[in-house]
Amino acid sequence: MAMWGGRFAKETDSLVRRFTESISYDRRLYPHDIRGSQAHARMLARQGIIPAADAKAICAELDAIRKRIDAGKFEFREELEDIHMNIESALIAKLGPAGARVHTGRSRNDQVATDERLYLRAEADEIAALLRGLQTALVTLGAAHPDLILPGFTHLQHAQPVLFAHHLLAYVEMLDRDAGRLADCRRRLNVLPLGAGAIAGSTLPLDRESVAKELEFDGVMQNSMDAVADRDHLVEFLAALAVIAMHTSRLAEDLVLWCSQEFAFLELDDAFCTGSSLMPQKKNPDVAELTRGKTGRVYGHLVGLLTTLKGLPLTYNRDLQEDKEGLFDAIDTVKLILATLAPMMTGAKPNAARMAAMAADPALMATDLAEWLVCRGVPFRDAHHQVGHFVAACREQKVALDRAPLALMKKSLPLATAECRKLFDPKRSVAARDLTGGTAPVQVKKQLAAWRKKLAAKPA
């Protein structure tokens, strides 16, 4: 007969079983499903709803089931659909009627919602640690080259000289905000749905608060319909993952550019590159390229879940089963990206000579010249226009800005003196930007020290 008891007169069709099963992917929830069931059983016993001996037997057998799953010795059955029924069926097979008491006062609706929150809490902590690992790699690389200067870019055009470490620290800041978003999401999802039942709660005297305390939730969800119907915590988690992926993709794009012959700013360790099946000279930054490519997958899972949720009436609908595969894949993808980028950055070798040569282009210090005029009372827009005119004149004369005769300079900048030529020095340029957030070595070294201290501290 069908697995759902007396209501159905026919066995479930084999195609329907394949169509509706989720055990092929939701089995990863097993430690959280078991932990939630144990807390629930202990609460039922405390409330006098089931015998204490039955609760004790249930918890002991659930421990045994966990060990079997850990060891790969548990048989998952497709016809039982999901992780909840696979574990409960094994429990009943061992304990009989005592095992059948475990589902008292709950539904798979609030059970899976609880499992997912327990799972996300653990994953949030793991991803936060991986973010710190990548931040540490970036800080370590920057600290190893504290005075290295390269051209900074806007519109992918040479803009102004900046410290290599300053560039890396930009990503450290981004990743720190990513960790903050993840922590924010973790805080919001840390409320217990269990006890909401299928939709309306229970007539049994459940003590939801004690279960929340045992499972380390901050409280219980206050509306039983909301508890089983929404997945906004998954959307928020996926959104946080999407932003992480976006930031790592931007870092990856910098690496792809820097590793090209045209830039030649950086070389990645051979262990993190691949060759060509045809061209023996090639060394391809495939990890960086795949980081960009995998970002689209993470975005897709976020949009997919939003699309699944947008038309669902309250409360639970089977559509919600589609919340897991994309979530699991996005988590796995982001964790792999972070885990791989950290050692890759640690082993990266900047080409100091190439960076210095490109940063020495005097055109990168044109803004310094404009600001020199500002310090002598010239309104910035006028200074900008004068320097622009000077740049155009040098281009017409085919002369570098720092080699232009003073007479040519004075035609565009009436206040120009011989001192202006000293401005076309990248070391002087970065050192002059000595303000909070600036690229001056004194500021960047201060930031590197602050980040080393922060990342070395034990996370809260």
Kindly report the length of the chain: 460
Which residues, in sequence order, are CB contacts of 374 under 8 Å at separation 6+? Answer: 380, 383
Place of tokens 């798979």: 108
Of the candidates 40, 46, 39, 52, which has an alpha carbon nearest to the alpha carbon of residue 106?
A: 40
Active site residue 276: yes
Helix, strand, coil proportions of the chain in percent (round to 5)?
Answer: 70, 5, 25
Place of tokens 């008491």: 101
What is the phi-psi region of residue 208: left when phi exceeds 0, alpha when psi lies from -120 to 50, beta otherwise? alpha
Distance from C-alpha of 355 to C-alpha of 368, rounded to nearest angstrom: 20
- SS3 state at 398: coil
Residue at 415: amino acid letter? L
**What element of type H or E holds 236?**
helix 232-259
- HSE-CB at 312 with a 13 A cutoff on CA atoms is 22
Which residues, in sequence order, are CB contacts of 259 under 8 Å at separation 6+? Answer: 265, 266, 267, 268, 285, 288
- HSE-CB at 240 with a 13 A cutoff on CA atoms is 26
Place of tokens 């070595």: 441
Active site residue 155: yes
> Exposed e or buried b for every residue in 187-206, given b needs 16+ CB within 10 A?
eebbbbbbbbbebebbeeeb
Instruction: Locate all alpha helices (DSSP H) within 260-324, ordered by sequence.
Output: 286-309
What does the block give as tokens for 250?
Answer: 């931007």
User: The dihedral of CA 14, 17, 19, 24: what is its sign?
Assistant: negative
Distance from C-alpha of 218 to C-alpha of 214, rounded to nearest angstrom: 10
148 phi/psi in degrees, rounded to 5: -75, 130
Cβ-contact 195, 105 below 8 angstroms: yes
Distance from C-alpha of 201 to C-alpha of 203, rounded to nearest angstrom: 7
Active-site choice (14, 24, 276, 389): 276
Cβ-contact 79, 15 below 8 angstroms: no
Distance from C-alpha of 313 to C-alpha of 30, rounded to nearest angstrom: 29
Annotated catalytic residues are 155, 276
